[in-house]
Amino acid sequence: MDEARWRKLTDWPLLACAVVFLVAYSWEVLADLRGTERAAAESVMAVIWVAFLVDYVVRLSLASPRWPWFRAHLPDLAIVLLPFLRPLRLIRLVALFAILQRTTGGAFRGRVVQYAIGASVLIVYLGALAMVDAERGHGDIDTLGEGLWWALVTITTVGYGDMTPVTTTGQLVAAAVMFAGIALLGVVTASFASWIVDRVAQHDASEQAATRAQVDELTREVRALRVELARAGTQDRVTTSP
Amino acid sequence: MDEARWRKLTDWPLLACAVVFLVAYSWEVLADLRGTERAAAESVMAVIWVAFLVDYVVRLSLASPRWPWFRAHLPDLAIVLLPFLRPLRLIRLVALFAILQRTTGGAFRGRVVQYAIGASVLIVYLGALAMVDAERGHGDIDTLGEGLWWALVTITTVGYGDMTPVTTTGQLVAAAVMFAGIALLGVVTASFASWIVDRVAQHDASEQAATRAQVDELTREVRALRVELARAGTQDRVTTSP
Amino acid sequence: MDEARWRKLTDWPLLACAVVFLVAYSWEVLADLRGTERAAAESVMAVIWVAFLVDYVVRLSLASPRWPWFRAHLPDLAIVLLPFLRPLRLIRLVALFAILQRTTGGAFRGRVVQYAIGASVLIVYLGALAMVDAERGHGDIDTLGEGLWWALVTITTVGYGDMTPVTTTGQLVAAAVMFAGIALLGVVTASFASWIVDRVAQHDASEQAATRAQVDELTREVRALRVELARAGTQDRVTTSP
Amino acid sequence: MDEARWRKLTDWPLLACAVVFLVAYSWEVLADLRGTERAAAESVMAVIWVAFLVDYVVRLSLASPRWPWFRAHLPDLAIVLLPFLRPLRLIRLVALFAILQRTTGGAFRGRVVQYAIGASVLIVYLGALAMVDAERGHGDIDTLGEGLWWALVTITTVGYGDMTPVTTTGQLVAAAVMFAGIALLGVVTASFASWIVDRVAQHDASEQAATRAQVDELTREVRALRVELARAGTQDRVTTSP
C-alpha cells in the first residue's frame, strides 16, 4: 500500500476524530469540567492523539524517499508532538479544514480565499477556546464570548488592548493568533492583487501577453511552410529533371 | 421580462429607498427617538425592507438557471434577511455604492480604488451609527463623533483601545468594521502593487512582454509567406513545365 | 508661456517657501508663541499661502484644456484651500518632497520607495507638530517628543493607545496619519511584491516571458525570408524562362 | 587581495564575533550585571566592535570604485558607528542572519520567506533585550518575558498597549521594531502574492505567457526554413541551368 492510498482510506476517519477532539476540548473548557467528567474528556483526547500519531508513523514508513517526506511534513510532526503543550494541541484541527478543502474543486484563487476564510474562523474559535483555558481566573478573558472578542481583535491586528493575556500559555496562544492575522492580511491582499493584475491585463485584449498556445500555433504554421517548401522543391526537381 | 431588464428598471428606485433608509436610521439613532417618532422611523424602514425583499424574490424567480444565481447572490440574501439582527441591517446600504459604481466608467484599477474609498466612507459612517445605536448608555461610545472616531481607529486597524464596544451587538458591528479594514488594506496594497508592476514593466520597452497583437501580426506575415511560396511554386511549375 | 515652463521657473522658489512655512509653523508651535511673535509667524505663513494660491491660479490659467487639468490637480486645490482648517495646512508641505523627487533620477521602484520613506518622515513630523498644536493643554500630547512617538505608533498602525487625541482637530490630524499609514503599508508591500515577482521571473531564463524585442527580431527574420523567396522566385523565372 | 576574497576569509570569524556579542549583551542585560562583571562584558563587546570597525575599513579600502561601494554599504557604516547609541548596537547582529543566508541554496521566494522568518525571530529577541536594557526600572518592561511579549505585540502591529516604552531610548527601539513589523507584513504579503500569481498563471497551460525559450525555438525554425529555401533555390538553379 502506498501513501496516497493510505491517505484516501484515513481522510474521513481522521476528520471525524478531529471533530470529536474539538467537541471534547470545547466541552472540557467551556463547562470547566472537574473530576471524572474531566478525566473522560481527557481520555477521549488522548485516544484521538494516538490515532493521529499512528497515522503519522504509518505515512512516514510508507513514504518511499523518506527524508524528503519528513522534511516536507514537519508541520504534521509538530501537530502530533505539540499536544504536550496543551492549548497549542488544537492547531491539529486545522487539518480538518485541509481535508474539507481537498474535497472541493474550483479555481485556484477561489480555493485560497475559501481556505483563508475557513482557517480564520477555525483559528478564531480555537484561539478563543485555548485562551479561556489558559486565562480563566488569571486575567480578563473568562468566557467564550470574551475569548472570541479577544481573538477577533487580535487576528485583525486591531489590538484594542481592552483584554490581554497575562499567563505565559495565553501569550503563546496570542502569538499564534497574531501571526495567523499577518498571514490572513497577506492572503487577502495577495488575492486582491492577483485579481486586479489579471483584470487589468484582460482589459485591452490587443495588449495581452502572447500565450504559449499562440506561439505553438505559429510554430506549427512555420513547420507546415517548411514541409510545403520541401514538397515544392521536390516537385520542382521532379518537374524540371527530364 | 429577464433579470437584466428588471435590474435596470429598479436600480434607481432601490437607490432612493436605500438613501431614505439611511436617513431614517440616522434620524432614529442620532435623535435617540422615542414613542410615535420612533414608530414612524421604524415603519419607514420596514416598508423599505419589504421593497428589498420583493426585489430579491422577483430577481430569483426571473433568473433562468436558478441555483447558480442563488449561489452567486448569497450576499443579497444576507442583506435581505439580516435586518432581524438590527444594526447589521445597514450593510444593505452598501448596495447604494454598488449602484452608483455601475453608472460610472473609467479604467478597472481606478474603479476599484473609487469603490474602496466609497465603501470605506460608507462603512465608517454606518459602523459609527450602528455602534452608537448598540452602545449608547452601555459603554464609551455615545455620540456620532465618538462613533466616527472609533470607526476610523478600527478600520485602519490602528486600534488605540480608548473606546471599545462592550455589548454583543456592538462587538458584532466591530467585527464587520475590522474585516472591512483588512479588505481596505488589501485593496489599497493590491492597487499599488498592480500599478508598480505595470510601471516597472513599461519602463524598458525592449523588455516588455510580447503582446498577442504582435504575435498575431507575425502569424499573418508567415501566412502571407506561405501564400507567396504556393504562388511561386505554381509559377515555377507553370514556367518550367513546357 | 506654457505650464511646464512656469513650473520650472517656480519649483525652487516654492520649495524655499515650503521650507520657510515649515520653520515658521514649527517655531510657532514648539515655542508656543504669543503676542507679536505669534503675529509675525502667522504673517509669514499667510504670505507663503498667498504665493501658493497665486501659483495655483497661474497654472490653472496656463493649462490649455482647463477642465482635465482642474480634475487632475484637485489635491493641489485642496492644498491651497485647506489652510483655513489650520493643522491640515501642513499637508501642503508634501509638495516639498514631490519637488525634491523630480530632481533625482533612478529606476521607478527605487523612486517609489524613496518617495514613500520621504513622505513618511515628513508626515510623522508634520503630524506630530499639528497634534501638539491641537492637543496641548487638552490631552496627553504636549511636547514634540510625545507627538513624534504618537505619530510613529499611529503611522505603523500599531496603535498602543497610551496617547490618543481628544480634540476634534487632533482626531482629524490622526485620521490623516492613519490613512498615511495604510498607504505606507501598501507601498512597502507592493514594492516587495513587484521585486519578488521580478526576481522569480528572472530565476529561470528559459522560462522568462518572451519580450517584444524578441518577437520584433523574429518578424524581421520572416520578412527577410519573404524577400529572399520573392528574389529566388524571380531568379527561378529568370533562369528557367529561356 | 580583493574585497570578495576578504569577505570569504572573514565571514565565519565575524559570525562568531556576532554570536559572542549577542551572548555578552544578553548576559549583561538579563543578569543586570554590576561592577567587574559588567566591565568584563563591556570589554568583550568593545573588542568585537573594533573587529567590525577594522572589517569595514579594510573592505572600504579594498573596494576598487570606492564611492559606489560606500553608498551601497551605508547600512554597514551605520552598523559600525551606531554602537555609541547603545541598544541599537544590536542591529549589527542582523549580519549574522545575512551570513547564514549566504550558505543555504534554494529557490528565491523560499529564501525570502526564510530570511523574513529568521530576521523576525532575531528582531523580536534583540528588540526585547534592548527594551529591557532601556526600560528596566522606568516602565512596565522589566524581564525578558515581558520584553518578548511586547516585541511580539509590536512586530505584528497588534499593539495592545498593555506595555509601552516610556524612555526615549526605548521608544527608538520600539520604532525599529514597528518598521520591522511593516517590512514583515510586506514580505509575507508579497510572497503570497507572487505565489498566487504564479499558480494562477500555471493553472491553464494554454493561457501561459509565451516564454523566451519558445520564441527562440521558433526563430531557429524560421532560420532553418531560410537555409532550406536558399538550398532549394540553388538546387533549382543547378537543376534548371543546363
Q: How confident is the model over A25-67, as pLDDT tens digits?
A: 888 888 887 888 889 988 988 888 888 888 888 988 988 888 8
CA of C1 vs chain B CAs: smallest distance (Å): 30
**Strand (E) or helix (H) holding D185:** helix D168-203
Residue in chain D closest to A216 (alpha carbons) equals D214
Quote the pLDDT of residue C155: 93
Quote the pLDDT of residue D92: 54
Contact state of A160 with C157 under an 8 Å Cβ cutoff: no
How is chain B split among helix, strand and coil, in percent rounded to 5?
80, 0, 15
Summarize the confidence of residues D202-211 as an average pLDDT.
Answer: 56
Among B219, C195, C113, B202, smallest CA distance to A200 is for: B202
Which backbone phi and psi does C11 adopt, to 5 degrees? -55, -55
Contact state of D112 with C196 under an 8 Å Cβ cutoff: yes
* Helix (H), strand (E), coil (C) string for chain A: CCHHHHHHHHHHHHHHHHHHHHHHHHHHHHCCCCHHHHHHHHHHHHHHHHHHHHHHHHHHHHCCCHHHHHHHCHHHHHHHHHHHCHHHHHHHHHHHHHHHHHHCCCCHHHHHHHHHHHHHHHHHHHHHHHHHHHHCCCCCCCCHHHHHHHHHHHHCCCCCCCCCCCCHHHHHHHHHHHHHHHHHHHHHHHHHHHHHHHHHHHHCHHHCECEHHHHHHHHHHHHHHHHHHHHHHHHHHHHHCC
User: What CA–CA distance (Å, rounded) separates D218 from B215?
Assistant: 12
Q: Which residue has the higher pLDDT, D39 or D22?
A: D39
CA of B143 vs chain C CAs: smallest distance (Å): 13
Whether the per-residue pLDDT at A204 is higher than 60: the answer is: no
Whether the per-residue pLDDT at A158 is higher than 70: the answer is: yes
Residue ranges in chain B whose pLDDT is less than 70: 75, 79, 82-107, 201-214, 230-242
Helix (H, G, I), strand (E, B) or coil at B154: helix
Quote the pLDDT of residue B241: 45
The shortest CB-CB distance from D193 to any of B159, B161, B193 is to B193
Q: How confident is the model over C194-223, as pLDDT tens digits?
A: 888 777 766 544 555 666 666 777 777 777
User: What CA–CA distance (Å, rounded) separates C238 from A225?
Assistant: 24
Sign of CA dihedral C177, D184, D157, D72: negative
Quote the pLDDT of residue D151: 94
Q: How confident is the model over C12-38, as pLDDT tens digits?
A: 787 788 788 888 888 888 888 788 888
Dihedral, A124, A129, A135, A136 alpha carbons, nearest 10: 140
Which backbone phi and psi does C211 adopt, to 5 degrees? -100, 160
As beta bridge partners, residue C211 has B209
Half-sphere exposure of C40 (CA within 13 A, CB side): 10
CA of A179 vs chain D CAs: smallest distance (Å): 7
Mean per-residue pLDDT of chain A: 78
Q: Which residues of A touch C (CB under 8 A)?
A: 157-161, 189-190, 193, 209-210, 215, 240
Classify the phi-psi angles of D162: left when phi > 0, otherwise alpha if psi is within -120 to 50, otherwise beta: alpha
Question: What is the DSSP secondary-structure string of D75-118?
Answer: HHHHHHHGGGSGGGGGGGGHHHHHHHHHT----HHHHHHHHHHH
**Strand (E) or helix (H) holding B63:** none
Q: At a CB cut-off of 8 Å and minimum separation 6, what does A179 contact?
A: D156
Sign of CA dihedral B165, B168, B169, B173: positive
Top residue of B156, B203, B212 to mutate, by most chain C CBs within 10 Å, is B156
Quote the pLDDT of residue B151: 94
> How far, rounded to the nearest angstrom, does the alpha carbon of residue D212 sit from its chain's CA centroid?
31
Quote the pLDDT of residue A149: 95
What's the pLDDT band for C164 if we cut at 50, 70, 90?
Answer: very high
Interface partners of chain B (CB pairs < 8 Å, 3 or more) are: A, C, D
Quote the pLDDT of residue B149: 95
Whether the per-residue pLDDT at D217 is higher than 90: the answer is: no
**What DSSP character marks residue D6?**
H
Quote the pLDDT of residue B132: 92
Q: Which residues of A111-141 are buried (b: 16+ CB within 10 A; e: fewer)?
A: ebbebbebbbebbbbbbbbbbbbbbbeebeb
Half-sphere exposure of A55 (CA within 13 A, CB side): 28
Q: How confident is the model over D35-89, as pLDDT tens digits?
A: 888 899 889 888 888 888 888 889 889 888 888 888 777 767 776 776 544 555 5
CA of B41 vs chain A CAs: smallest distance (Å): 32
Quote the pLDDT of residue C105: 45
Cα angle D182, D186, D190; round to 5: 175
- ipTM score of complex: 0.74
**Residue labelled with grid coordinates 435617540:** B32
Among D29, D186, D210, smallest CA distance to D119 is for: D186
Contact state of A211 with D209 under an 8 Å Cβ cutoff: yes
CA of C4 vs chain A CAs: smallest distance (Å): 31
Contact B174, B131 (CB under 8 A): yes
Q: A35-62 and A74-81 helices cross at what angle (nearest 10)?
A: 160
Contact C65, C34 (CB under 8 A): no
Q: At a CB cut-off of 8 Å and minimum separation 6, what does B210 contact?
A: A209, A210, C209, C210, C211, C212, C214, C215, D210, D215
Contact state of A214 with D214 under an 8 Å Cβ cutoff: no
User: What CA–CA distance (Å, rounded) separates A190 from D195?
Assistant: 9
CA gyration radius, chain D: 28
Summarize the confidence of residues C146-173 as an average pLDDT.
Answer: 92
Top residue of C109, C143, C158, C240 to mutate, by most chain D CBs within 10 Å, is C158
Among C71, C135, A88, A229, smallest CA distance to B230 is for: A229
Contact A61, A54 (CB under 8 A): no
Contact state of C192 with D197 under an 8 Å Cβ cutoff: no
Whether the per-residue pLDDT at C74 is higher than 70: the answer is: yes
User: What CA–CA distance (Å, rounded) separates A216 from D122?
Assistant: 49
Helix (H, G, I), strand (E, B) or coil at C202: helix
Among B205, D200, D183, A183, smallest CA distance to C193 is for: D183
Mean per-residue pLDDT of chain C: 78
Contact state of B161 with D157 under an 8 Å Cβ cutoff: no
D149 class by beta-carbon count within 10 Å (0-12 exposed, 13-18 middle, 19+ buried): buried
Residue in chain C closest to A157 (alpha carbons) equals C158
Chain D residues with CB-CB distance to B193 below 8 A: 190, 193
User: What CA–CA distance (Å, rounded) separates B110 from B118?
Assistant: 12
**Residue labelled with grid coordinates 422577483:** B58
Quote the pLDDT of residue B13: 81
Whether the per-residue pLDDT at C242 is higher than 50: the answer is: no
**Residue labelled with grid coordinates 538546387:** D235
Q: How confident is the model over A128-157, as pLDDT tens digits?
A: 988 998 898 888 899 999 999 999 999 999
D42 class by beta-carbon count within 10 Å (0-12 exposed, 13-18 middle, 19+ buried): middle
Sign of CA dihedral A39, A45, A49, A51: positive
Residue C172, CA distances (Å) to A15, A159, C126, C147 in order: 51, 21, 13, 15
Quote the pLDDT of residue D95: 57
As beta bridge partners, residue D211 has C209
Among D205, D225, D209, D138, smallest CA distance to D173 is for: D138
> For B62-71, C149-158, D85-94, D169-178, which range has the lowest pLDDT when averaged over its residues?
D85-94
Cell of B60: 430569483
